[in-house]
Amino acid sequence: MASKKEEYVLKGEDVVKKVSELIKEGNAHKITIKNPRGEEVARFSLTLGVMGAALAPVLAAIGAIAAVLTSCTVVVEKKEDNKK
């Protein structure tokens, strides 16, 4: 399986909502948050077993980071199935 990267430039208050949506899609396996200068602020690995209550600490950390940043870039690495 290959991975594909997607980047989203978001305002601080939109970060948790977008990350929650990406997690619910189910194919995101790594999320990186960068500040406006492009420097990595945080990186979270998401495993297949991470669901429900286990996501609460990750989303809380993302919320705390987003509260400090006025805008940031969220980089999502998604698993891509090469079978067709």
Spatial separation of the C-alpha atoms in residues 61 and 43, rounded to whole Å: 10
Would you kindly state where each structural domain of the chain is located, as residue ranges?
Answer: 2-80
Model confidence at 28: pLDDT above 90? no
Residue 66: phi and psi, rounded to 5, are: -65, -35
Model confidence at 48: pLDDT above 60? no
Strand runs labelled E in 1-84: 2-11, 28-34, 40-45, 71-80
Q: Kindly report the pTM of this predicted structure.
A: 0.76
Rounded to the nearest integer, the mean pLDDT of the chain is 81
pLDDT band at 7 (very low <50, low <70, confident <90, very high): very high
